[in-house]
Structure 1
Amino acid sequence: MLDDQALFRYSRQILLSEVDVEGQDKLKNSRVVIIGMGGLGSPASLYLAAAGIGTLCLADFDTIDLSNLQRQIMYGADQIKQQKAQAAKQRLSNLNPDITIHPFTEVISEENIYSLIDNADVVLDCTDNFLTRDLINQTCFHHKKRLVSGAAIRLQGQITTFDFTKKQSPCYHCLYGDGNEQELTCSEAGVLGPVVGVVGTLQALEAIKLLVGFGEPLVGRLLAFNAINSQFRELKITKDPACTVCGGSYE
């Protein structure tokens, strides 16, 4: 039940028929896990905290350095060398002291990822390497979690949603197969800050839609953004029957 202060704080989104008081109450009782608190995780977590997500779990083992500040808008120069997850908790708690925030500072591995996402309603993949993305995808599929995956590099970004509560949903492995362990990262290829901002913001929007239950999420669709011409392009993603992660029987 929302108190008067909450009704006033979230009044602008409660006014939306798609959200209303019932939807706001769903957000309050939701748990979202964000894996990667860099350029994507920064705007995603800021908007989710502001929207009133009841519990946010922020996972990142890295510390802040000067080169992060060009795009990771969560942090300031006075936080260099601090743990990202801990620094983000401080910022988000100041933005919205009524929510619960759990920092997770271990490296994501097969041994700890299930305990991280176990109680999540939605997981956001805001990481920047294939092996971690593949592990997140496999774990979310096997435990039927909804996963919002974003990526950005250079002047391009993309986002899609995998809803593993639904049999027809494709997965990350359907899209990229075995991937490329040698793929470039932003530290090698570069990226413009607003590009990751666009994608991270869209990830927050997808999460809110899934949690409240309105609109059409990006399940089976990849939304690609090209900053050079400021155009979005939508691509269809189909479930691969031969996928080694989600293909075959659905148990």
Structure 2
Amino acid sequence: ETKKLLRSEMKSNLSNLTPEALRSQSQTAQNIILDSPQYKSATRIGIYLSMPHSEAQTDLLIRDALSTTTTTTTTKTTAATTTTTAAEFSKMTGNKEKKVFVPYIYSVRNEDQISKKRTMKVMDMLRLETLEEYEGLERDGWGIPMLDGQRVEEKENAMGGRGFALRGDGGGGQVVREREEEEEERGLDLIVVPAVAFDRELNRLGHGAGFYDRFLTRNFGNGKNGKKPFLFGICLAEQIVPDGKLVMEPWDWRVDAVAVGDGTL
């Protein structure tokens, strides 16, 4: 009940934010992440696709990360125009080439005996490959860019293989999809995490669906899949609440840092 009230309070506060303030704060918060050693050294990152209102925008982060895999980068100087490869540009800037993965939500059979819901929604992180693909994404009812549902089975999954991580087992349950023994790299170095609110103790209040907490527990709980990714929260100044106001449950994940729209970290 406390969480529901706080979500309602935050929704009301953020609805009064001007587009100019949203744009300015989002740029400030994204620049904090772009300048961080965690971002620069990461080669596999998860970034949420933002709503056009009421939350920190991620467009700058996505464009920067996708640009690191561009074949060539052209730089103009007073003397000449220099063309460098993405690898050379990465070495010059210290910003490593990156693969970008974005959330994709889908339904599976609910195995929670307490809940009466027959299905539940889960989240995977699937690869967003190019700037052209990103700019061509259609938006859902919330205005959030979404991956093409007809192509998701072809998409590289951050945790290995392609397409969805969970499948039906033929009996109405869910199973983890088998992976190839000699699979390419998997996992994530960094995830940019959204929230309704954060506090200075790095506690997080999500939107209530539990997508990120379940994704992290399924893939990284109890030391699964090696090192846990660095969890970089991002938010507007209005979304920081006093310490002690956020109630954390045992299954809730704290973040490792929060980039705030007022320039604080």
- Give the TM interval when normalised to the shorter protein: 0.3 to 0.5
Q: TM-score, normalised by structure 1?
A: 0.33
Bigger share in strand: 2
